Amino acid sequence: MTPGPDLRGPRRRLIEALAAQGVRDLAVLEAFDAVPRHLFVPTGVRHRAYEDAPLPIGSGQTISQPYVHALYLQLLQLRGTERVLEIGTGSGFQTALLARLAAQVFTVERVRALHESSRRLLDELGVRNVSYLCGDGTIGWREYGPYDAILVGAGAPAMPMPLIDQLAPNGRLLVPVGDREKQALWMVTRTPAGIRQEAVADMRFVPLVGSHGWLETGTG
């Protein structure tokens, strides 16, 4: 994965901005340096690919602000041996970051157009440690669980219990929970003493649609 040389400057400036905001995990910063974000956004907004801002990717969805991706990855403290479940493949950018930081990634996307385009791009980029599913991410992917880490890239109205059930011992779940306008990002950890929940940041995501989320994009 090598961005064109004309984008090296903007990419490095983004990495410097992430570091200035408190992203200290060198593996995370190196992943941002290696994965060409501009390939994961539509050509019409490609000139903005290395801004620290969310961008539209079609089907009413967005690619998250880079700082949000970096925060997620830093909070999980991945060491390269983990099995990770990603809810919301979207553009595939976070999937590509995860593929560099974990042993195996399982990613679920409900929008078929995004599922197909992200899979095609990641295949072209040579990413081989990712398994893909088009379906309801709120129920997880029980067949390949339990998972050491689960990331949810959309806002849920309540904790999706099937995802908590699929956490491995000491596994961590990151999920935004709240209303349609704003959410709190929760870290849920399966400890020997039980489930621990901690709110770590305020977030604003598109709705998490599914049987354990919002029923559809316009209704609860």
The catalytic residue positions are 64
Tell me the C-alpha distance between 207 and 63, whole Å. Answer: 13
Round to whole Å and give the CA distance between 157 and 12.
36
Contact indicator for 125, 46 with CB cutoff of 8 Å: no
